[in-house]
Each structure stands twice: as C-alpha cells, then as structure tokens.
Structure 1
C-alpha cells in the first residue's frame, strides 16, 4: 500500500498568484476532422482561459500525389475557406474568452505545425495521441510523438478515450523524482490546480533496491547490502520531506504519495489510474542526464500510455516559458494565414 502524506507545505505568495496568468502566452491546438478534435480544442481553451494566453487552432490538409487541392490556387483557396469555417464553428462552442485565430496549412503535419508554432512564438502545443495519424488504442501517433520530442515548448497530449467515469473530485497529478525540472513542473501544476480549485497530488515512485548478487555472500557482502539499503531509505525520506515542503496548502486535499513495491514507471501509471485526475503534469526530463534523449524514459512511458490529458513541461521558467529554438531545415510548406 503506498504511503500518503499531507500536512506542512508552502503558502501561496501574492507575486506567485499574479504570475499564474502568464504560465503560457500562446496556446496552439492541432485539430483534424476526427471526433477527438472537439476534446482537444476544449482542453486548449481551458488552459488558455486560465492563463490569459493567445489561442490558435490549426488544421493541416495532408499533401500527396493525389492532393490536387493544395496545388491549384483556386482549389486551395476554396479548401482553406471550408476548413477555416469548420475551425471557427468548433471554437464557437468551446467558451473561449479570447478570439481564436484559425490557421489552415497543406503539407507534412509535423513540419507545418512545428514551423507555424515557431513563427507565432507558441509555447504550448495541444495534440491528440494520434493527431493526423491512424487512430491507435496504445501509444502515440507519429506526428504527436515527433512534436513531443522536437518542439522546444511544452506539449499537452489529449487521449482519444479517457478511461473510466469522469472524476468526482477535481485533481491535478504531478509525478516527481526530486529533480529541478520536476520541481519546475510542480510550480505549473500548483498554479493550474489553484485556478481550477483542484486537489494537487504528488506521486513519488521509489526504485526497488534488488538483492546484492545471486550467489553465496559473505559477512562483508551482507554488511554492504545493509548499508546500501539504509542509504537508499535515508535518501527517500529526505526527498519526501522536501516534496512535502514544496506542496502548496491552498486546498486541504493536497498530498504526497510514496509508491513502492513495483517498477517506478508501472507504479506511477497504476497510481495515475487510481487517482482519477483530470490532468497529469510532468517534466520532459528528470534525474536522467542522457543528452541524446529529448524525453526521459518515464515521461515517454506515461505519454505512450496516456489515460488522461498529460501536460509535458519543457523550458519551465515561469514568466519566460517560450518555445525558442530555430526551425529545422525542412522543405517550405504551403501556408495560408486566415
């Protein structure tokens, strides 16, 4: 049974509450014509309304040998107008508090989205798990996975089907490993939870320290094994105390869960399903330091098995959360402004 901790935590500061409105400055929802598009746009509108961000809805018409409507100027203009009207029709039903800019492009979905996001200085992309790709019950579509890896801002992945019944209690979940990036993600999660009057639950999975060797061990080996276990226990307790200190106290239900007895990623996934949160917020990278991995193994595991919207935080500096970076040298895609 996982340990659950609540209690002493940090008070919200006035300057922190004032900065919540600028967690994100420009949110872009990437929408196809599937039934999931409405849910994706609703999640984008929710975050944009709460943070005062500009909002763009984008649709990419796939280009190919048989797609003449992108090549002929007249056909393309007619197509663009039809798709733009559909995006605006969808936006009228979402309750957005700001005007939504509709953008329609033709070409490679990943390239068009990435280029447009950089051009508009977007710092949050909102995607479905299989956006512009064949639907899948497990894992991410190629476009969603590619953008989650290469986009230098944050990414919200919205699953096509949210498991189980809607949660009765509003709850934001934050997997944390004690790293600086995970603490930065917690600041985003705390601000979102405060805006939604939701509980904030921190999940900390403890790695199991396996047996020392498989053969016969002497007294020296057993002593070393005990020392390793004691050191690991002290490290875990120190980390839990720090996490409890970081936990805001704006709501009584805020707490820290210590997960053990299973592989950490599986334990996190199980706890996410148990908690029935409306949003999971986690950092793109944690304690791992492999520079060749754009997303840490834990983040990749949870994204690929999303059962609730997952917000992947990257470049998590409050007040300066920008996409940054430069566009890759891809062939120029046909774009049209609304």
Structure 2
C-alpha cells in the first residue's frame, strides 16, 4: 500500500499474540473514533559481518516480506472477527521499526503496540527504543496490556490520568477526557505529592512542613487545573484523587480497577521524568491495563487542544 491514510488508528504487528490482542483493541478504538484501522508490519534485513552469496539478500528480503504479509493477514482476520465491517488496511514495510513508527505517527490519530513482541518489534518496549518512539512520535502511543501477560486488556472501569498541575500534562488530560467520554465511563485524575519534594525539588525545610497543609495545596492545584476541563466536558464524571506517595506505585494500584492509564511524557512534581529510565519502564512493564503516552506540542491534534476559558468548579473530588 502506498501513501498514508490521514487520521487512522495504527497498530504495529510483529507476529506475536500480544500484537494481535493490541490490534483487536485498536479496532475497538477505531470504531469509537470513527476512524479506519491500519495494520503495519515492519521488517529489516538482519545485519551480517561477512559478504553474502549472490542473490541471498533478495531471497531473505522476499522471505521476510512473505512472512510479514502472513502476520498481517492473521491479525486482520482476528480484528474483523471481533469488528466485522471495520475498514482495515495493511502495510508491510522494510525499515527501522522506530523510524517507521515515528513516520506513521505523523499521519495517525493513535499508534497502538503490544506489550510483548517478536520479530521486527523485539525489545521495542525496553530501554532506549521505547523512549525514542515516545520522544519523537507526533501522536499518542498506547501500549496494550492485561492484568496477566496473556490476559486480554480490561474493558471496564474508569480512565486514569496522571496529572501534576503543569501545562505539559494538559495534552494527556485532553486525551483522557475524550477517551472517558467515548467509553462512557468516568475519569479519575491521579495526583501524588511528597512532603520531601515539591515540583521535583527538595523542600527547603521538609521536617517543618505540615502534611495536611501540603495536601490542601495539592488538592486546590488539581481542582484548579480541572475546572476548565469539566466545563468542556459537562457530562463527564471527573474525580480527583490526591495521594501521598510515588506516582508509578499509585497509578499501578489504581490501575487494578481501570481500563486505561494516560500519562504525559514530561512534567514536574510527582510525574517528573515519567518516561525516562525505570519509572516509565515500570509502568509499561507492570501496568494491569493499557497505558497511553501523550506528548505535548502538537496543537493541531485533537488530543492537544486545551479547554475553553471557563470558571466551572463542579469537579467531584474523590476524597470527600
């Protein structure tokens, strides 16, 4: 297939059962959004350290392309079995997985990946490769997970969003609000605080701080951030969950009863460095439900648009 469909939901296929489950999940997402689904398999010739016999490259390339088409056919069959009538296209591409996925993200509404991979996506969600995809992608990326490695992703419970009060988290909040609306469920905004750190820096006199006063400030900050979003989504139940502790641990605990966790890729306070090093890897590796990662900075994308000017305060706190 030549060219890129604009606004499609893209799912990476690598021959693994995890990727097939992710493709089926992506099919549901495409239906909710009224978008086509594009299944992409990316393969590359293996590196060699010695000259190869004449014709070997072409034979290997043909074999990889044939295998890619087979994986795509299997994934498409699984998607249509769950979502008959959905518009599904496929593409087998010879390139670097990271580079190709970033290119796909320039045209996609969403890129969806499985949490365990084979073939061209081996190791995609471990270490620098995952960070590279998230750091450069121009649309949200979802890693589809279940409570156990071979479980399907949950389809009940709220949508969770990690919020730290910074403008950088607005893109994640916008995406989470829309996801909760499309799914007909409530949104839970999770914000963590520490009596040692404030905005990612050590408090000057942590032993003299009053934890109750810190929590009040953090609650007010979160309520202020969500006032405009409640106005933009007046029918969406929004709960504010302020907790003392670490962001990943809190999100993992809350995620046990959720159907999606949404985080931004940079921020301050409780979510500083969310997508760098062990913090992001822990969330991707251990989340009991799919994880969406949303980068700020693409103002023309629906997931990046902030709320209109508003002063509504009818956000329902979880702590009351």
Q: Same fold (TM over 0.5)?
A: yes
The question of 1:58 aligning with 2:40 is answered yes
> Paired residue for 1:302, among 283, 287, 292?
283
Relative to 1, partners in 2 of residues 1:94 and 1:144: Cα closer, same or farther, differing over 3 Å? Answer: farther
**Bigger RCO of structures 1 and 2 (CA < 8 A, at least 6 apart):** 1
Give 1:153's aligned residue. Answer: 139
Residue segments in structure 1 that go unaligned for 5+ positions in a row: 1-23, 211-220, 324-338
Q: Say which SS state the counterpart of residue 180 (structure 2) adopts.
A: helix
Q: Map 1:157-176 onto structure 2 (within 5 A).
A: 157-159=143-145, 162=148, 169-176=156-163
Deviations 1:207-258 (A, max 9, x none): 1338xxxxxxxxxx98x95467687345313214325634455255x41111
Q: CA deviation at 1:284?
A: 1.3
Q: Say which SS state the counterpart of residue 57 (structure 1) adopts.
A: strand
> Paired residue for 1:190, among 177, 183, 197?
177
Structure 2 distance, partners of 1:45, 1:188, is 18
Structure 1 distance, partners of 2:41, 2:152, is 30
Deviations 1:72-96 (A, max 9, x none): 3765665455344334323322316
TM-score, length basis structure 1: 0.66
Give 1:122's aligned residue. Answer: 108
Count of aligned pairs between the two proteins: 279
Give 2:191's aligned residue. Answer: 204
Q: CA deviation at 1:141?
A: 6.9
Give 2:58's aligned residue. Answer: 71
> Paired residue for 2:98, among 110, 120, 144?
110
Structure 2 distance, partners of 1:166, 1:76, is 29
Give 2:235's aligned residue. Answer: 250
Q: Say which SS state the counterpart of residue 27 (structure 2) adopts.
A: helix
CA RMSD of aligned residues (A): 4.0
> Paired residue for 1:100, among 83, 88, 92?
88
TM-score, length basis structure 2: 0.70
Give 2:308's aligned residue. Answer: none
